[in-house]
Amino acid sequence: MQHKIMIVDDEADVIDMLVINLRAAGFQVIAVEDGATALAKARSEAPSLIVLDLMLPRMPGLEICKVLKSDPATRHIPIIMLTAKAEEVDKIVGLELGADDYVTKPFSPRELILRINRSLRRGKDKVAASVEKLAIGDLVLDHTRHEVLVKSKPVELTATEFRLLALLMERRGRVQGRDSLLNDVWGYESVIDTRTVDTHVRRLREKLGPLATYIETIRGVGYRISEGELVESPMLATR
């Protein structure tokens, strides 16, 4: 099955270059030049991944990312941001909104394809290795439904927040260093600032509300989910 990649960029030369290279790599490609079309195509075409330029006219890429990640129909689609900006804040904001990765212009098509494949592989591995349900106290994570419940009430998480919580729950009681989390959740090896992890943990705690204390900070090291009774599927128990 060919993966369908949607490119959102207003520069014709960038689109032409990406279309040629992505098709050569075996992908189907959808190319759009504006935010409104991108939102409509994301819902109608259901791409496997979106390559999104942040510097777009009328509707900025960050706003497009925010809308896509707030819509249940498109929330699951991985997003790789393209940005010519050097400011770290733009990358951090994009990751906070739920983007999976970023590439700074000018970039190598080969690097982008490697990052696309890595994002797609993470999604595939998650499905293959997912458990039916994890539960610690009143916190329940259901991989099948891609749902998190806090005291029986659903909580909306971005794809990155979901991966982060799932990893912490699967490794309950074990401290996860920031560098380790960057690699396991984002696929980086200390390429970006570890403050990204702190930012996502803070937002995750906000969404967990009364159960925020389940995530413990180990000063100077990282984070862990507190020990507790865990309900798991046989698949997880045998890993």
**Judgement on whether residues 171 and 123 belong to the same structural domain of the protein:** no
Strand ranges in 71-171 using DSSP code E only, listed in sequence order: 79-83, 101-104, 134-136, 139-142, 147-150, 153-155
| Residue-number span of the structural domain to which 75 is assigned | 4-127
Judgement on whether residues 14 and 104 belong to the same structural domain of the protein: yes
Q: Clarify whether residues 138 and 123 are in a common domain.
A: no
pLDDT score recorded for residue 233: 39
Amino acid letter, residue 166: A
**Last residue within a domain, chosen from 127, 162, 187:** 127
- CB distance 218 to 224 below 8 Å: yes
Q: Are residues 95 and 111 in the same domain?
A: yes
Instruction: Give me the residue label for tokens 């990649």.
Output: 5
- pLDDT number for residue 12: 92
Q: What is the pLDDT of residue 232?
A: 43
| 10-residue mean pLDDT series, the chain (239 residues) | 90 94 95 92 91 89 90 85 74 81 87 89 55 83 87 89 90 86 69 76 94 91 74 37
| Cβ atoms of 122 and 224 closer than 8 Å | no
Q: Is the pTM of this model over 0.85?
A: no
The pLDDT value recorded for residue 229 is 45
Query: Do 170 and 138 have their domain in common?
Result: yes
Q: Residue 104 pairs with which residues in a beta bridge?
A: 83
Alpha-carbon span 79 to 39, nearest angstrom:
13
Q: Look up the CATH number of the domain holding residue 191.
A: 1.10.10.10
Q: In this structure, what CATH number is given to the domain that contains residue 65?
A: 3.40.50.2300
Q: Which of 137, 169, 131, 165 is nearest to 150 (CA)?
A: 137
Domain end residue (candidates: 109, 127, 145): 127
Same domain, yes or no, for 156 and 227? yes
| Total number of domains constituting the chain | 2
11 and 92 both lie in a single domain? yes
Q: Which of 107, 127, 147 is the last residue of a domain?
A: 127
Do 123 and 11 fall within a single domain? yes
Buried b (16+ CB within 10 A) or exposed e, 62-94: bebbbbbbeeeebbebbbbbbbeeeeeebbbbb
Residues 114 and 190 in one domain: no
